[in-house]
Structure 1
Amino acid sequence: MSGRDRQRGRVYAWEDRVVAPHAPDLISFAAAQAMVDAIWAEMGLRWPPKVERLPCQASARQADATRLRLRLPEALPSWVLLHELAHCMTSTAEGGTDGHGPRFMGLYLQLLERYLRLPAASLLPSLQVARIAVDLAARPVFLDAPAP
C-alpha cells in the first residue's frame, strides 16, 4: 500500500463493519447512469462521469472510478456506488486523486448522509476509532481548480 493511500485498508474494513449492514440493496447496471446523473446534479455538479461495464477480468474489484468514468458490474450495493462517486469527485481528468484520503472520506460521508440517511454524527465516532481522517469541509477537487 502506498503512503499516498494509507487509509485504504482501514476504509474498506470500516465500510464492511459500519456501512454495508445498513445498505444491502443492489443497484443494477441499467439503473446506475440515471442515479449517477441525478446525484451529480443534486450535488451541484455538471458533466457526470460515464457509467461503463467493469471488465470480466477485474475479479478482485467491485467497481472502479476516475473523474470521467465509473466501471461497474451487473449489480452492486448502493454504498459501493456512493464510494465510487466520491472517487470521481476527488479525481481529476489528468489522473490526480486523493485515494481514500481525508477529502475522499469527507465527500463519501456527505453522500452516505444524504443518500443512505446515515447521520454523519453517528458515523464520526466509528471513523475516529478506525483512525480514518476526514475533511468535513471537503468539496469536489475540480471545484477548487483555477479557471483557465
Structure 2
Amino acid sequence: MTPDRQRSRVYQWEDREVAPRDLTLLSFGILQPMVDAIWLELELEYPPKVERLPPRFSRRIADASRLCIRVAAEIPSWVLLHELAHVLSSTADGKTDGHGAVFMGLYAQLLARYLRWPPAELLASMEKAQLGYERTARPLFVDPSQKWDLAL
C-alpha cells in the first residue's frame, strides 16, 4: 500500500471542488439503508455497519474501516462517498490505501456515479489538483475474477 502522501491535497480539493457541488446533508438514520442499497447496487456482500462517532471526536465528522463507517449526527452526502471509498480501499485485516491512487480511483467512480459528475470533468479536476488516481481501481477485498463495472 502507498503512504498517505496526498491526504492534505485530497482534503483541499474536496473543499474547493467537491463540497460546493453537493450541499445535501444526510441524517444518521438514513445512512445504513443508503449504504446497504449502494452495496447491493455494486453487487458486493457484507456492507459496512454505520455507527455514530464517539462524542470525544468532536472535530471529526466521519471515519471508516473495511467493516465500519462512523459518522456524526449529520454529514454531507459526498462525505459518505469519501468514507465508502475508504471501505472499498481497505481489507478486513487493516490494510488500506489511505488517500492513495486506489482510494482516489474508487472515490472518483463513486462521485461520477452518485453525484453525476461527468468523468472527464472530474478527472481533469483531480489532475489539476495533482491527485494520483487509478482509473480502473477495484475494491481491495473483491476477487479479481469478480465483475466490477464502475471503472471510469
The TM-score by the shorter chain falls in which range? Answer: over 0.9
Q: Is the 8 A contact 2:112 2:122 kept in 1?
A: no
CA deviation string 1:38-76 (max 9, x = no partner): 111111111000000011111221100000000011110
**1:143 partner SS:** coil
What CA RMSD, in Å, does the superposition of the two structures yield over aligned residues? 1.4
Query: Kindly, what percent of the aligned residue pairs are identical?
Result: 59
Q: Structure 2 stretches of 5 or more lacking a match? A: 146-152
In structure 2, the residue matched to 1:29 is: 28
Measured against aligned partners, the alpha-carbon deviations of 1:93-141 in whole angstroms (never above 9, x if no partner) come to 1110000000001110011011111112101112111110010100000
Residue 41 (structure 2) pairs with residue 42 (structure 1): yes
Residue 73 of structure 2: aligned partner: 74
Runs of 4+ more than 2 Å apart? none
Structure 2 equivalent of residue 86 of structure 1: 85
Per the normalisation by structure 1, the TM-score is 0.93
- CA distance in 2: counterparts of 1:73 and 1:89, whole angstroms: 20
> TM-score normalised to the size of structure 2?
0.91
Distance 1:144 1:86 in 2: 17
1:9 maps to a residue whose letter is S
Partner of 1:125: 124
Instruction: Output the amino acid matched with 1:94.
Output: D
Deviation larger for 132-141 or 121-130: 121-130
Secondary structure of 1:141's counterpart equals coil
Q: Which has the higher helix share?
A: 1
Aligned partner letter, 1:32: L
For 2:88 and 2:16, the matched residues in 1 are separated by 24
